[in-house]
Structure 1
Amino acid sequence: MAHHRTGLGPELFRAPGAPDRWLLLAPLAIFAGWLTAATGVSFGVLLTGFGWLTETAAALLTLAVVLAVALAIQLRLHRAPEYGLTVIWALAAVAVRNGSGNLPVTALALIGIAALALAARQTARR
């Protein structure tokens, strides 16, 4: 079986921390964070596009999965809070876009922001 490499693979966990932190680790963590968020968006579009779920149901499902993945990755990364901050940035966009028009999605995005902020803070202190 071929091993498929993505930005979320072992490379992120092996990226050097110092002295090349801002040249290697931070950009890779930011890229991986955007890949995590974009994957959720892609699956949400797929689920609604084929009519398998309503927009709200697809958003809640993909947000929950993205949050679980992002928290697991952030808690495993001991020196890359940029990953979590990038996913937080995407979640903030979800919260702003949905606003009061879709409170369940907005609430889950805000809960995710709080959880990832705590995880990023924890890993930044290690």
Structure 2
Amino acid sequence: MGSLLSLVPLKLLKFADDTTVIGLIQDGDESAYRQEIEQLAAWCSRNNLELNTLKTVEMIVDFRRNTPALPPLTIMNSTVPTVASFRFLGTTISQDLKWDTHIDATIKKGPNKDCTSFGS
């Protein structure tokens, strides 16, 4: 796994069969981010791991007033869709980093074993 690490300030989080890459694009230069994604895909290929691009999404968090449009991310000739939110370890994370989307999704699921009803 050491060959996957680079000087680019990214964090790699792995849970079972899921991998999440968190990257920082500074000064509008996304080349380091895209290079790291290419290196991840190459590392997976070298280690006989398959990235399921059909289950891959990209979420961009950007609080600047004028957000420039970034070209779509491509992995193994597949365009990765950009989403406004996604589920990560049971929590819905949205690009505004607020809890509203997660709370709405939790309420829509309705009562379950994790929710306790109080009262008579």
Q: TM-score band (shorter)?
A: 0.3 to 0.5
For normalisation by structure 2, the TM-score amounts to 0.37
Greater percentage in strand:
2
Larger helix share, 1 or 2: 1
Look at both structures and tell me which one has the larger radius of gyration over its CA atoms: 2
Instruction: State the structure with bigger RCO (CA 8 A, min sep 6), 1 or 2.
Output: 1
TM-score, normalising length: structure 1: 0.36
